[in-house]
Amino acid sequence: MRRPLRIGLIGLGVVGAEVARLLLVEQKTLSAQAGRPLEIVAYSTRDPHKQRGVDLSKLPWVASPAELAAREDIDILVELMGGADGPALEAAEVALKARKHLVTANKAMLAKHWAHLFALSKKHHAAIMFEASVCAGIPVVKVLREGLAGNRISRISGILNGTCNYILSAMAERGIEFADALKEAQNLGYAEADPTLDIDGWDTAHKLIVLAKLGFDPAITLEQIPVKGIRDITLADVQAAKVAGKAIRLVASAEKKADGTYAMEVAPKVLDAAHPLAPVSGPMNAITIDAQPVQSCTLIGPGAGAGPTASAVLADIIDLARFDILLEGPLYLPR
């Protein structure tokens, strides 16, 4: 078999632990898909002794993420720590400068440091893969980058935050208060470590900016998006909408206007029952891409949770593993 792809993993939260678990438990299947063994070589996390449902005790633990990123025995860095700056950014920079490909779920870091990180990527010929940064396992980054690469994108819109959609759905379906619905979302592992990022719309805005940079123009910045979250939505609001046969959803949209400028927004909207986004409930996300010549493409799936997000991280890892062996064989081996 071919040379293993050697993975350095930083961050063992809900998603990181699930990625590690799958890479160990499904090692054989995943390696077959990748065309070569996928091996975690070392990992970094604040407390290596914390119970996470996965046993990494046989692997070396490295205290510093940046130090792990610099190790000569890793081919790619998988960053699942989060945080726009600080140790995640430092480790990403170290990895790219050392020509190691970067896999990240960190939409906040990408939203803030896109130009800087992609300049490093270009200079050092190291890829940045970030499927997990937007809507978990829904492969929207791949669809925008590749699947619709022959299109002119005119509009990207959807429900991009599982926590907010879970809260709004729970309030409407079960008549519970905002705070209780948020607590449920946290207990189910949907919410960000800091849930204000979810409910104030910033997580949605971070995802929208990544999609707008991909689909429209990498120069678009977060400051161009008016952002309103769902913090002020009351049970009475949700119930009034329901009585009128409508549904409240936190909707993100970015549209290229005829004059070449962009109309972008994150805000709660009262949608008619017939609106395609109205039936999207619970932690589900949905994205509609309007483009020519494809006309439209809609993707629906769970937008949060350990498993769905791990699916995206694994896809990026497998892509990198396959890319590295392109020279030796056919592009894809069917399952």
Exactly one of 5, 105, 138, 159 binds its own copies (CB under 8 A); that residue is 138
**Which three-class secondary structure state does DSSP give residue 34?**
helix
E-only strand ranges, the chain: 5-10, 38-44, 76-79, 101-104, 128-129, 152-159, 246-256, 262-272, 284-292, 295-302
Smaller CB separation from its own copies, 151 or 186: 151
User: Least Å distance between CB 64 and its own copies?
Assistant: 26
Greatest Cα-to-Cα distance within the chain, rounded to the nearest angstrom: 62
Residue 160 main-chain phi, psi, to 5 deg: -115, 0
Interface mask toward its own copies for 107-136; x: CB under 8 A: -----------x--xx--xxx-x-x----x
Q: Does 261 bind its own copies (CB under 8 A)?
A: no
Q: Does 99 bind its own copies (CB under 8 A)?
A: no
Q: Does 77 bind its own copies (CB under 8 A)?
A: no
User: Least Å distance between CB 327 and its own copies?
Assistant: 7
Q: Looking at residue 133, what DSSP letter applies?
A: G
Evaluate whether 118 touches 128 at the Cβ level (below 8 Å): yes
Q: Characterise 255 by phi-psi region: left (phi > 0), alpha (psi -120 to 50), beta (else).
A: beta
Our CA dihedral for 91, 93, 98, 99, rounded to 10 degrees, sits at 110
Q: Report the alpha-carbon distance of residue 48 to residue 228 in Å, rounded.
A: 38
292-311 residues in contact with its own copies (CB under 8 A) are 292-302, 305-308, 310-311
Nearest to 7 by CA among 80, 57, 110: 80
Smaller CB separation from its own copies, 23 or 62: 23
Interface mask toward its own copies for 191-230; x: CB under 8 A: ----------------------xxxxxx------------
148-167 residues in contact with its own copies (CB under 8 A) are 148-152
Instruction: Say which residues have a Cβ less than 8 Å from residue 86's Cβ, sequence separation at least 6.
Output: none
Count of residues that bind its own copies according to CB under 8 A: 70
Nearest to 69 by CA among 95, 100, 103, 99: 95
Smaller CB separation from its own copies, 160 or 233: 160
User: Least Å distance between CB 186 and its own copies?
Assistant: 19
User: Least Å distance between CB 176 and its own copies?
Assistant: 23
Q: Which entry of 100, 107, 207, 256 is annotated as an active-site residue? A: 207
Q: Does 58 participate in catalysis according to the annotation? A: no
Binding segment toward its own copies, per CB under 8 A, in 57-65, 143-151, 183-191, 226-234 = 143-151
Residue 324 main-chain phi, psi, to 5 deg: -65, -15
**Which three-class secondary structure state does DSSP give residue 173?**
helix
Q: Report the alpha-carbon distance of residue 320 to residue 276 in Å, rounded.
A: 35
Binding segment toward its own copies, per CB under 8 A, in 29-37, 166-174, 185-193, 233-241 = 29-37
Smaller CB separation from its own copies, 8 or 305: 305
Smaller CB separation from its own copies, 57 or 330: 330
From the number of C-beta atoms within 10 Å of its C-beta (0-12, 13-18, 19+), residue 332 rates as exposed
Evaluate whether 69 touches 8 at the Cβ level (below 8 Å): yes
User: Least Å distance between CB 224 and its own copies?
Assistant: 16
Binding segment toward its own copies, per CB under 8 A, in 27-35, 198-206, 240-248, 265-273 = 27-35
Q: Which parts of this chain interact with its own copies (CB under 8 A)?
A: 18, 22, 26, 29-30, 33-34, 101, 118, 121-122, 125-127, 129, 131, 136-139, 142-143, 145-152, 213-218, 291-302, 305-308, 310-311, 313-315, 317-319, 323, 326-327, 329-335
The catalytic residues are: 207
